[in-house]
Every structure is written in structure tokens, then in C-alpha cells.
Chain A
């Protein structure tokens, strides 16, 4: 049976007299209190890993020979290459990047359907940097109460000194954030030297300036306002949640009616477990009161669970007054059922289907990555004119051929004609008298070579299709081919 003290949230709770509304609302400063607990420690861990990955990745070296920067992860916009450890992606293979984005999208569905807004709570950059800045607040100004006092205090030399010191640390961290970002787009050690000697590209300075400014403003000052007003994810994520997704819940059927510890001790049968200590609100990084139910400001970081569990321990009540639970579990427990294991919510058709799709795309991409050739040929035929009659009666067609060498070393590639009886070819750089069935061209490492081919066939050769093949002349012997048309004068002329 449900607790008779439970609050029916479908009914109006209170009635405030209307006030003339202001045109704008000042941000209510959020001063989250220090807290320790399971989820706080997990948040530390995620912060450490994400920031570590972000700052360290560009400095991982990877031997690419003399032809490319020795950087493990590099987005080389100038040469349009994307390096990731031993994977090298060319512009025409951009579907790998598209696939990764699709995986990221489905991954978000998967995570959201399983564990709710875990992305928001732990790994979103805005969350991570806000957390960093809140720790700086705590380090410079002290914990919640000290900060609130300082906020109210009039501006004086001491406050000015404190604030400028704090903002300076904000600035340094913001600058680091922007500085690490540009390292992904050029060889990091070289860029660092260039940056400090004023030789880096203008876009590098502009990027650092913009990212420093946005980190400073969004992380240092706007914080939860970004989540509530600017970010589209909360809208999308809350729409993706269902009654089986984990959310942070206040178990009102157990907590209500609230009362101070003193009152609760006096008449235990009248009051629930919530002693209205407000700890859950005090520690919240976005300043919400979870006891008002699921709301857009809640990023499910679960710091309120840590806070409440500690209070419950202290007053000798069972933990979990605020807990991760699904809407279904809530109904079940409110009706007097036993709490169910969380694992049950993780494995259900919806999450498994998302996982299957996600895994299938990943497997397909890995397969494509494994079998892709590092030698490629594309052929473009001259259409104007489609064919050319030569003075000795032979017929000539012209083709523009692109040879791609996707290896980090120079390779010889042989282009050859398959089919087209009697056909020979020559190119701009060799005389027509040396026309042959095949020719070899050296292609620079990680480069495309454009070769213009003239294919000549004897008099009376009819229009037909034939194949151009390209074979790398090294131990790998990779091959690619392309079927092309040979046009010749027909009956109509």
C-alpha cells in the first residue's frame, strides 16, 4: 500500500500570489557543496579519463616515416587526411567518419535508453569543465557557505583580489582547453613552438582565442544555464527516455511528509524519511531540487544520491531515499513492491536492439577498413569530343586517370589495358611512338597522381567497353580496375 503521506503531484501544491513579472531573470548563482560518495568518485574518474584523453592524445607519437607527421591522431585539413593510429582516412573514404558519427548517435540512444542521461551527468564537456571550474571556486573561495558569503559581501580589495585570482585561473584553464584543441590539427610539438614564436597560422590563434573565450564564459559563468537554455540535448534526451530508463528519483512515497529531524523523532508515524535537510539541493551542480521530480535541469549526475545516502546513514535510515530508478520501478515500489535489481533495466529489447544496430555498424566499418585497398584508380573519359579520328585513320579516345597511393611510401603503379584488341596508349609525358599496352608511373606517398591517357585503336575498331587496371609494383601487388568505354565513329558518320 502506498504511504498515506505521499504527495499527489498531480494536484496543485501551493498558491503564490501573482507578482508583476520582470522582463528578465537574473541567474541564481549555484554554489554546490563539497560531497564525497560513490557517484562523486565515479565522476572524478570520468573527469580524469576524459580530460586525460583530451589533453594527452595529440602528444602520442606514431611512426609514419618521412612522409607524414609522426602523430597518432591527426586531422590534417591542409592535405585532407585523417590519421588515427594505423588507420589513414582519405577524403573519398569519408563514409568512415560518417559511420563514426552515426555510431555516436546510436551510441547516445543506447546509453540513454539504458542509463538515462548519463552522458549529461558525467561525460558531456560542459559538465566536465563546469565541474573543474566549481572545484576552482571551492579551492579559491572555500565551500558553499563561504562562497555565498563572499558573493553577498561588498566589493573591496580582498574580494577584488580573490575574484581576479580566480578568474585568472579560469583563463589559464580556458587557454589550455583551446590550446589542446589545435594540437589535433597539426604536429603538436612543431605547432607548440610555432605558436609561441608567433609563426603559427592565423587560424590557430583565432581558434585558441575563440575557445578560450567560450570556455571562460560557458564554463566559468554560464554553467547550468548552458544545459537549461542553450543545449538541445536535454530536449532530445528527455524525449528518448521511457518508463524503463534509469533516472535519478526522489522516492516521495518514502520521504513524505517531510519534517525536520526533531519533528520526525517526536512523531515518527506522521513524517516520512526526508528530514528536509536540503543537502540534495546544496550539492546539486545545476541547482535543482530533485524532490520536485524529473526536470530538465537534472543531469542525473547523482551527487544528490551521495548527499542523501550520507544523511540517511547518519540518522540511521536505509539508503536510497534518492536513487537511480526507473519510472516502472517507482510505481512498483510505491505500491509496496520490493526494489528490483538495476541489471534488469539494462538488458531489455530496446537496449539490445540499439546495441545490435550499433554493433553491426561497427563491425561493418571494421570489415570495410580491413579489406580496403591502398591503391585506387578512377577514370574520367573526355566527352567533348568523344573520339578523335587521326590522320592515319586510327581512332583516339582520351581519359583522365587518377592514381591513388594511400601508403606512406612512394610506389610504382602500372596502368594496363585489358581488352580492346590492338589498342595502345600513351600519355602527355611520352611520345606517341612509344605507345604501349601498359605504362608505369611512380606515385608519391599519400598522393593522387593525375595522368592523361590517349588510347588509340586501329581503323575500323568499333565502340566497345574495355578495362583499365592499375597494379602496384611492390610486394603487396594491390590492384584496382575500372571498366571504361571506347568510342569510335559508327554507322551514323
Chain B
């Protein structure tokens, strides 16, 4: 079993399509929805896809055929370590525990991309503007 985090951008005509249903039924995948923002005009879904690597690849191919933009999101949130002063402000809003400080005795900021659920709360919270979304 493998796990892959992706961001799905739904265009207007696809907002009501049962795509996660097909991922489960046709591709035997377990989509874990981390974040969803959907209205009648467009939608963004952050999901962890669990399944065999082949099935994940096929599932992503299917999504692309449906005209859904798939962002393989692993590198989405980036911390500019040159700018970052390790104040720790961003850790206060990161419920997912991707941004932490103090667990190491050096009190430098630690970012674990794997845990990020792309809530994007940290971006405005960083007073130094050291956190960015990388498209």
C-alpha cells in the first residue's frame, strides 16, 4: 500500500461529479479528504490517496481525463529558511503538526511536509512572510 497527497482543482462543470466514488469503486483507492473547499463555481480538494502505486497512477490518470487539474502537492508549502527567524508563530495555527518548534533543543522551526494538510493558515500568520505556496 502506498499513500500520495494530491490537490484536485475542479472546474465549474465538474463540481457535481462523483469522482471520489469512482476512485473507490473503480480503482480500489481509499481517498482521505484532508481539506475541501467547494461551491457552485469551482472546488479544491486536498486528499491522501491510499492504494497500490499502480492504482494510484491510474486513479490520477482518470481524474485528469475528467478535466480535473491534479496537483501532486508534496512541495506546495515552502518555508524560506533564510528569512525564517524561528519565532514559532506559525506553529500556533498548524493543527496538523507539520510546523513545530521546541521538540529539538535548538528551538529552530521544523517543517514536516508529509503532515501538511494545506490549510494555508500559516501563510498569513508568519509575520516575516517566510512561508509561501509553491505552485
Binding between chains A and B: no
Interface residues in chain B, defined as those with a beta carbon under 8 Å from any beta carbon in chain A: none
